[in-house]
Amino acid sequence: MSKTAELKLNGQTYELPVIEGTEKEIAIDIGELREKSGAITLDLGYKNTGATKSAITFLDGDQGILRYRGYAIEELAEKSTFEEVSYLLIFGKLPTRQELEEFSYDIRTHTLVHEDIKKILDGFPSTAHPMGVLASLFCAQTAFYPESLDPNRSDELVYLSIIRSLAKMPTFAAWSYKNALGHPVNYPDNELDYCSRFLKMMFALPGQRYEVDPVVAQALNQLLILHADHEQNCSTSTVRIVGSSRASIYASISAGINALWGPLHGGANQEVIVMLENIRKDGGNIEKWINKAKDKNDPFRLMGFGHRVYKNFDPRAKIIKRAADGVLAKLGVKDPVLDIAKKLEEVALQDDYFVERKLYPNVDFYSGIIYRALGLPVDMFTVMFAMGRLPGWIAQWKEMRDNKEPIGRPRQIYVGERLRPYVPIDQRG
């Protein structure tokens, strides 16, 4: 592999260093390109641009590979727990039994949120989308923990902020749901594990006994693991760039929650169910909707299909598709949209339009079907994605901080007006 790349520009040849990652990916380091040649690169959507060097998650989009700190997602989804995967992503190794018990204890003892946060929650109408509530409550922690405003104050404080983030996210998520229902909130039951604690806060009703179904808790555990990190996606890049200004971890992650909300990103899981329901109500005419997705004059896209990196099956989609069958069977749930989803996938993957563009089901295509079977309402689906992605956002923010990466500030190519004189208002056309 050559150590340098040559760029020929305006009769000059510039040598640029080439770097290679541990999985043989290569990059041309253009850190000195502008200084050497006066030119910058332009790459709308950063489709070919690396923003950092990271040791957290490895994706191979052509092979459909996803690994957290070197461990295959298939193994982690089958054998690990969400708290253990959170520790792995954030601290770079699988915890010993004692380390995991201490980590779990620290999380369990920080699940309560300041009662004054309820005053913020009460200010939201029940019509507020839970993602907007979640982003606001998460950022409100900057007001209750002002010492967190300096992310470089101490490693101990960063650890405490990490624990508070993981501990309080489920409480905020469940409270945003209760707010939408106009129900009183539930407080965390610290006798329960991470997923069970969340489910009880979500679904327990005043004066009624609530037992967590272990099938539901295990399905949620697996879904959160599958969403835990995904290298430099839109919301993680948002967390990194906001954090690069030395904004607090709470402000950086709140920005990530907002980026995830978009329907092209984490909001897709909600849009998939809306799409499948529309197809069902339309009589299940798969061909019609496939043709709409292919029609350039039709804004409709097959939600849950396609991916910036995966040009093969998203490995998470394969696992979730298998889990959907299992969870619905165990819960005795028949969901007509699951059959529609499978038929849609089957037809699309035989259609040249999708095959040529290497458009496969992504993580969002089947996840909503399981969330619905678990009793979660559609507009909570992206909140679940945010809960799952939280340890990844934390790990990436911490890596950016620990590596003392510079503030993110991309360049541009200006295509606006050349210099022109000011025109007094009475002389304007």
Helices (H), 204-334: 214-226, 234-243, 249-260, 268-281, 286-294, 315-331
Looking at residue 67, the DSSP 8-state letter turns out to be: E
Work out how close the CB of 183 gets to ligand SDX at its nearest, in angstroms, rounded to a whole number. 30
Work out how close the CB of 223 gets to ligand SDX at its nearest, in angstroms, rounded to a whole number. 12
Structure tokens at 172: 């905020």
Asked if residue 306 binds ligand SDX (CB under 6 A), the reply is yes
Give the whole-angstrom CA distance, residue 404 versus residue 391: 20
Asked if residue 394 binds ligand SDX (CB under 6 A), the reply is no
Q: Which is nearer to ligand SDX, 161 or 233 (CB)?
A: 233
Candidate ranges 8-16, 32-40, 141-149, 296-304; the one touching ligand SDX (CB under 6 A): 296-304
Candidate ranges 61-69, 128-136, 258-266, 408-416; the one touching ligand SDX (CB under 6 A): 258-266
Q: Which is nearer to ligand SDX, 50 or 95 (CB)?
A: 50
Contacts of 6 (CB under 8 A, 6+ apart): 13, 14, 15, 16
Q: Which of residues 189-218 bind ligand SDX (CB under 6 A)?
A: none
In a 3-state reduction of DSSP, which class is residue 130? helix
In a 3-state reduction of DSSP, which class is residue 358? coil
Asked if residue 268 binds ligand SDX (CB under 6 A), the reply is yes
Helix (H) or strand (E) holding 307: none
In a 3-state reduction of DSSP, which class is residue 12? strand
Q: Which is nearer to ligand SDX, 200 or 265 (CB)?
A: 265
Q: Where do we find the tokens 């606001």?
A: 136
Helix (H) or strand (E) holding 35: helix 33-37
Q: How many residues bind ligand SDX (CB under 6 A)?
A: 22
325 is catalytic: no
Q: Look at strands 12-20 and 71-72 and give their pairing.
A: unpaired
Binding residue (CB under 6 A) for ligand SDX from 83, 345, 364, 399:
364
User: How many beta carbons lie within 10 A of that of residue 342, not counting itself?
Assistant: 16
Binding residue (CB under 6 A) for ligand SDX from 67, 110, 129, 265:
265
Asked if residue 359 binds ligand SDX (CB under 6 A), the reply is yes
Work out how close the CB of 144 gets to ligand SDX at its nearest, in angstroms, rounded to a whole number. 29
Name the residue with the smallest CB distance to ligand SDX. Answer: 306
In a 3-state reduction of DSSP, which class is residue 77? helix
Asked if residue 233 binds ligand SDX (CB under 6 A), the reply is yes
Give the whole-angstrom CA distance, residue 403 versus residue 201: 37
Candidate ranges 85-93, 122-130, 194-202, 360-368; the one touching ligand SDX (CB under 6 A): 360-368
> What percent of the residues of the chain are helix, what percent strand, and what percent coil, each to the nearest 5?
55, 5, 40
Kindly name the residue from 227, 230, 307, 335 that is annotated as catalytic. Answer: 307
Give the whole-angstrom CA distance, residue 288 versus residue 426: 56
Asked if residue 84 binds ligand SDX (CB under 6 A), the reply is no
402 is catalytic: no
Work out how close the CB of 389 gets to ligand SDX at its nearest, in angstroms, rounded to a whole number. 7
Work out how close the CB of 329 gets to ligand SDX at its nearest, in angstroms, rounded to a whole number. 26
Q: How many CA atoms lie within 13 Å of 134's alpha carbon, on the beta-carbon side?
A: 30
Asked if residue 311 binds ligand SDX (CB under 6 A), the reply is no
Asked if residue 305 binds ligand SDX (CB under 6 A), the reply is yes
Asked if residue 237 binds ligand SDX (CB under 6 A), the reply is no
Asked if residue 357 binds ligand SDX (CB under 6 A), the reply is yes
Asked if residue 303 binds ligand SDX (CB under 6 A), the reply is yes
Give the whole-angstrom CA distance, residue 429 versus residue 385: 51
Q: Which is nearer to ligand SDX, 95 or 408 (CB)?
A: 408
Binding residue (CB under 6 A) for ligand SDX from 30, 167, 273, 302:
302
User: How many beta carbons lie within 10 A of that of residue 412, not counting itself?
Assistant: 7
DSSP per position, 218-251: HHHHHHHHHTS--SS-HHHHHHHHHHTTT--HHH
Give the whole-angstrom CA distance, residue 91 versus residue 68: 11
In a 3-state reduction of DSSP, which class is residue 217? helix
In a 3-state reduction of DSSP, which class is residue 9? strand
Asked if residue 318 binds ligand SDX (CB under 6 A), the reply is no
Q: Which is nearer to ligand SDX, 186 or 232 (CB)?
A: 232
Give the whole-angstrom CA distance, residue 119 versus residue 111: 18
Binding residue (CB under 6 A) for ligand SDX from 108, 164, 200, 230:
230
Work out how close the CB of 118 gets to ligand SDX at its nearest, in angstroms, rounded to a whole number. 31
- Residue window 44-63: x/- pattern of binding to ligand SDX, with contact defined by CB under 6 A: -x------------------
Enzyme catalytic residues: 307, 364
**Contact set with ligand SDX (CB under 6 A):** 45, 230, 233, 264-266, 268, 293, 301-309, 357, 359, 362-364
